[in-house]
Structure 1
Amino acid sequence: MAAAHPDERLGFLLSLRGELTGARIRAALGVVGLHPRNAMTLMHLAPGATSQRELATTMAVDPSQLVAILNELESSGLCERRRDPADRRRHIVEITPAGQEALERMDEAVKEAERELFGNLTEAERTLLRNLLDRVVVDPTTHECGE
């Protein structure tokens, strides 16, 4: 029995399209000098300040990995950490005005990339794709988002 053509294997097809999509999104993020993991962190910080522990849980990343991400963002002036006055063991993380500006520029670049990537899909098809991808089983402990 002959092996299936790669286009017939959903995993291979999704992997290839994922790599191509990832490359296009990384190029868009490069416009503002952000790595995917840094951009994702800023997106999670956009709604408002949060604790460092809650951010790690929300992003499904190891707290030590989050520290490295936050160190990069903080040294670039895009976020800041401070001790919670109510609990000195807890750190509060917040996006800065410079981080908000970078996020807005990044959002425009990513929107353009998504128009290129998904321009042939109707809104209904994009919704269906999003819903189907939400159902793909991925163990977040076995990979790093955006790297």
Structure 2
Amino acid sequence: MTADRTTRPLDRLGLLLAWHGRITDAWIRRAFSTAGLTPRHAMTLMHLGVAPMSQQSLIDKLDVDPSVLVTILNDLEGEDLVHRRRDPADRRRHIVEITPDGSATLSTLDTALTKVESELFADLSQDERTTLRDLLNRTAAHSGDYEC
């Protein structure tokens, strides 16, 4: 089977998604920087903003090596954005929770992300945004299965 040579690059759904992903990534990174965070630091704070969790749960959610998480938490703890404590039910586990300063930083980040998303998706209705989110979540469910 031969490729249609009249197909423009951005007519290819994967390339279109990658192109917009690159642009979106740049905007999101700027939003993270307004709060003084790297992407990994921001994602960690965002997870902890929902509820305290164990270091193992963070490793699973962020899909990082334990040593990488320790570095992230050391950075965040050094800025007084998170606090680690032993789990009273299991002294081998650490529970990580966001501090008041971390919550304030997360609020700044949330404001910046809301602004970015408002600009990125200005031409989409709320229903269209919901549909896009659902479609991307369905697509992402199979992303680990791809082989070249």
TM-score normalised by L of structure 1? 0.88
Where in structure 2 are the equivalents of 1:49-68 lying within 5 Å?
49-68=52-71
Once the two structures are superposed, what CA deviation does each residue of 1:41-100 show, in whole Å capped at 9, x if it has no partner?
Answer: 111101222111122123333322222211211111110112223322111101010000
Pair member with larger Rg: 2
Whole-angstrom distance in 1 between the partners of 2:98 and 2:144: 28
Aligned position for 1:82: 85
Alpha-carbon deviation of 1:114? 0.6
Whole-angstrom distance in 1 between the partners of 2:83 and 2:27: 29
Aligned position for 1:102: 105
Alpha-carbon deviation of 1:3? 6.5
- Percent identity of the aligned residues? 51
TM-score normalised by L of structure 2? 0.87
Q: 1:125 to 1:80 in 2, by over 3 A?
A: same
Query: 2:5 is paired with a residue of what secondary structure?
Result: coil
Where in structure 2 are the equivalents of 1:1-147 lying within 5 Å?
2=5, 4-136=7-139, 137-139=142-144
Unaligned runs of 5+ in 2: none
Query: 2:47 is paired with a residue of what secondary structure?
Result: helix
Indicate the RMSD between aligned Cα atoms, in angstroms.
1.6
Flag as ranges the 4+ runs of structure 1 deviating above 4 A.
none
Unaligned runs of 5+ in 1: 141-147
Q: 1:60 to 1:117 in 2, by over 3 A?
A: same
Which stretch shows the higher mean deviation, 79-88 or 16-25? 79-88
